[in-house]
Amino acid sequence: MHDCIFCKIVAGDIPAEKLYEDDEVLAFRDIAPQAPVHFLVIPKKHIAGPADVVEADDRLVGKLLRVGAQVAAENGTGGAYRVICNNGSKAGQVVFHIHLHILGGKDRPWPI
């Protein structure tokens, strides 16, 4: 997608503080962190949101969770972190490229 900010990050057109990268997945620090550890995990393939995941994407979406856990452990969460994935603007999705927010590094009250 030519106007997707995350696709531009994947392409290298917009800089990001990368924490993990391979051929399919990228993890990078959130530019407006809500916790001491706050990063995003995205597929390099453009998928607009959770509702747009198709069966062929099952392995890739599972990989997002695995990479999120790995990067969380490498960044001092002590195994305690939240995973947030929004679907649609009414749920708080701002960038329409599926992504996981991984937040940790402090105790978090529920529901926020």
The whole-chain average pLDDT of the chain stands at 94
38 part of the active site? no
What whole-number distance in Å separates Cα of residue 90 and Cα of residue 20? 30
Could you report the per-residue pLDDT of 46-92, keeping only the tens digit for each? 999 999 999 999 999 999 999 999 999 999 998 999 999 999 999 99
CA 74 to the chain's CA centroid: 16
Let me know: does 37 contact 76? Beta carbons within 8 Å.
yes
**What domains appear along the chain, each with residue ranges and CATH number?**
5-104 (3.30.428.10)
What are the backbone angles phi and psi of residue 55, rounded to the nearest 5°? -55, -35
Q: Which of these is catalytic: 38, 97, 99, 101?
A: 99
Residue 106 makes CB contacts below 8 A (sequence gap 6+) with 35, 36
Could you report the per-residue pLDDT of 64-73, keeping only the tens digit for each? 999 999 999 9
Of residues 92 and 109, which shows the higher confidence score? 92
What predicted TM-score, i.e. pTM, was given to this entire model? 0.94
